[in-house]
Structure 1
């Protein structure tokens, strides 16, 4: 039985305290100031070992919640609270910007720009994601400063706590690399001065920092599967490295596929993870029970409410024609989310088996009018109900955790890296096919042979297995199908049938607000 990180009991005091700490200058552009008159001093707060765990919980919570009070109050000013929630911004920027999904209500700030590939440096999601990651880095840095010199006799878990903070900082920098290609770089040794303006770090510097950091703190993390659920362990850290290596050719122009396979082998060798016998149980209101989930962002329908990733996805899945709210366990937003035809065509076949959760009856596949909620297929992948069908405590907010890293992806990364030429440790197409067949046997889908393996096949298999889990834009870029016109989808480039988009859209712009407050930041080319 997994131990459960009771984030909900930890976050309130921690986030208030951490927001207080952000009066230091490393995130001036976030305009974050304390909003609680009763906030205690650092000395008063950190007077017990449990307080350090609360402080650590605040860093985790910053990836899942908008702020320190409720679902509509954000620690990032100037944007809608939901736009600045990490999981929601990540999902929109990875899925809506590609062929995976469409959001019906384009009056929502920032949505039209993301899903029509017409975003600018003032887009609310571009700003929200940048600001949230910068805030996460700042929180982690402050935690590391506050815990410098704390011994294990004072706080027995302090080495693990510090390693977890470094992991979360590395995770934030990883998404800076992927989404923006650069970041304002600060660590715990940077100046604590309201006038300090961080230097800009490019992809190579950020890549090297993450790689060296993970290698340095790995030994202080609990073994894979041995930390409380929802907290990072060696498995999560290895998964971050594997993702970094898989995308290294995009980020740096230098392939690291052997390194990717090596890390995938290490994850598999831990024996800590296994495929859930029922694919659907990775996406239920009690998915914390699944041994397949390597790292998640925790949701709780009663005590950590957010209009972030899972609440948006769950309510968005409820179709305006289907009357399927009971199956998903939420009331729904009246047909907010649909799948674009190019994505559903990959999934809606026998090759998906049980992974096909598309509802296609009474609907055309193509989204001919974004505001017309009767076009485009509806999806029932995620549910707020438990694996036994019990309802959540809420018919609005999510109990289902966001599956950021899942064991199935280890098999798919291994197969792709082999197909791209990795040979380390006896890596082979035979093993790659075996791993994919494990996924297909679980899904009751037809098995394959090594002759079926190709890059195009693997890209499609990633869709069948991982759709709507926040990977699609990244995958299309890695397979050179995102920009240009070789692969088009509904509303790509603001065209109903899709049109070519320019290569500068492989990264998002640096927010104008951030450049305005830090002259060290230089805009990405083409913006």
Structure 2
């Protein structure tokens, strides 16, 4: 990893002089406090960079990852003989029976608001010259970057919680609830105003930062989901943001699907638009392989850390069955079949299948309990030899492929031609040996999904539940194949009308209100100005 990125990661971790506290009776154990510290221009970059640090919790199985993937229809985390029940927390995410005490709900609320409130604080410090900028130009750019990141965090709040407090100052008053529409309007306005002052560079010194193009991709995503958020359609506005990115000629699809997920050489990728940079020593957090893999895979990948038990995060059989077997993304995303050690020797089960060759099989009996070898596991993010429990592999949040797919979906939904050509462009690298299979037409993208929905008992669908066709279902399938493991699935499932209507594995619909999470109980009890989201008790 290049030196400037190491510096950026180190700055993201520094919180001694810029950390937030919600404790109004804060105890001071040092003579130097936030009020007495004398900021200099040397503190400017570390302060701005610090707001990205909260993204590194996104890949944790106790937070954002599970909220976006395990609650949807592609990935599940069932218990097994090595454990992975933890009081039923992951099963509740799969069943969509979480409540306001669920740790995942509390954790994502905290991460989003800590990020947004830290942005508020540093914006205030810069605007009041408490935190001096090296130059007027850097001050303008820094404020734009902070506003765009604050908008990003509030987009996540809007997306995950709906109505919620919108706090844009450093005042310590207990906030009231704002409507989802108010948060949506704020986010759109902030991004529109910040974008002209953001850097047009990509990669290099701006790797992992909110550039003009990253902000436009976020804005496109917000327009894409506006019908969910505020019952408005903004297909043309989404297309315009995508076209701006496409016509910049700064981005392109990587030659190989796996390239954006490598352990090294991604810093100058033309496909990665916005990412979470990880480093084993300076910026840990990427532990996806640890909660997906069997402990014996340490011998295959020669990691320093031993994956936890026999792992848990795995593919839902019904989703895996939607893949074309010639699609290279199947093997590039999912670990399947017999697993061998680095020296070619066999690996064996160590729990309920002790002594049996370690062979990952596709079919799951249900989402309640599996054997140690059932379920395809994570194979998307490369894990380097010698990796600790936190991998140094970066996790892209926005890729150029997503820009093409967002435009394609908006073309479909607005009745315009061209979606098939864009999706074909994305598919081509996944069918290098069968290029004729890469082609998809506009008409095909309008077809129903190939996903066989229904609740599963003893490996078979026992109750199909809702069987209504999914509008633009093939487009939904395409998004699943391209973005598996990338924490997109919940938002896509909601937009396509699947999330609260369909049954899969052991999940059955629990009500439309599950499209947003409840406000954490601790937040409600500490702030009488807030009330719970509708239908949550």
Check whether TM > 0.5. Answer: yes
Q: Does 1:233 align with 2:211?
A: yes
Query: 1 CA distance for matches of 2:103 and 2:193?
Result: 35
RMSD between aligned residues: 2.7
Q: Does 1:296 align with 2:275?
A: yes
5+ residue gaps, structure 1? 26-30, 66-83, 386-390, 493-498
| Cα 1:24–1:343 shift into 2, 3 Å | same
Query: 2 CA distance for matches of 1:18 and 1:220?
Result: 24
Partner of 1:258: 236
Is the CA contact (8 Å cut-off) linking 1:264 and 1:411 kept in structure 2?
A: yes
| Cα 1:24–1:268 shift into 2, 3 Å | farther
| Cα 1:38–1:87 shift into 2, 3 Å | farther
Q: Post-superposition shift, 1:5?
A: 6.3
Per-residue CA shift, 1:272-328, capped at 9, x if unaligned? 11111111111121233422111111111112223xxx21x1223323676774188
Q: Post-superposition shift, 1:7?
A: 2.7
| Cα 1:442–1:160 shift into 2, 3 Å | same
Q: Post-superposition shift, 1:52?
A: 1.1
Partner of 1:518: 527
The alignment covers a number of residue pairs equal to: 472
SS at match of 2:398: strand
Q: Does 1:442 align with 2:429?
A: yes
Is the CA contact (8 Å cut-off) linking 1:318 and 1:324 kept in structure 2?
A: no
SS at match of 2:206: coil
Query: 2 CA distance for matches of 1:284 and 1:512?
Result: 40
Residue among 507, 511, 523 paired with 1:502: 511
SS at match of 2:274: strand
Per-residue CA shift, 1:150-172, capped at 9, x if unaligned? 47665652211111111111111
Residue among 170, 192, 200 paired with 2:151: 170
| Cα 1:174–1:491 shift into 2, 3 Å | same
Partner of 2:458: none
Query: 2 CA distance for matches of 1:300 and 1:108?
Result: 31
Q: Does 1:8 align with 2:9?
A: yes
1:291-330 matched pairs, under 5 angstroms: 291-306=270-285, 310-311=286-287, 313-319=288-294, 325-326=300-301
Per-residue CA shift, 1:87-139, capped at 9, x if unaligned? 86221101011122222412168333212211000111101111111111110
| Cα 1:223–1:40 shift into 2, 3 Å | same
The worse-fitting range, judged by mean Cα deviation, of 211-220 and 317-326 is 317-326
Partner of 1:395: 388
Residue among 181, 195, 199 paired with 1:218: 195
Partner of 1:50: 42
Is the CA contact (8 Å cut-off) linking 1:59 and 1:139 kept in structure 2?
A: yes
1:339-354 matched pairs, under 5 angstroms: 339-347=315-323, 349-353=325-329
Query: 1 CA distance for matches of 2:30 and 2:88?
Result: 31
| Cα 1:271–1:41 shift into 2, 3 Å | same
SS at match of 2:37: helix
1:105-184 matched pairs, under 5 angstroms: 105-107=84-86, 110-150=89-129, 154=135, 157-184=138-165
5+ residue gaps, structure 2? 338-358, 447-471
| Cα 1:148–1:467 shift into 2, 3 Å | same
Is the CA contact (8 Å cut-off) linking 1:440 and 1:447 kept in structure 2?
A: yes
Q: Post-superposition shift, 1:434?
A: 2.0
Greater Rg by CA:
2
Query: 2 CA distance for matches of 1:125 and 1:412?
Result: 29
| Cα 1:246–1:378 shift into 2, 3 Å | same
| Cα 1:365–1:34 shift into 2, 3 Å | farther
Q: Does 1:17 align with 2:17?
A: yes
Residue among 462, 471, 478 paired with 1:461: 478
Query: 2 CA distance for matches of 1:261 and 1:292?
Result: 18
Residue among 306, 317, 330 paired with 1:331: 306
Is the CA contact (8 Å cut-off) linking 1:314 and 1:383 kept in structure 2?
A: no
Query: 2 CA distance for matches of 1:60 and 1:35?
Result: 26
Query: 2 CA distance for matches of 1:261 and 1:170?
Result: 20
Residue among 363, 366, 390 paired with 2:364: 366
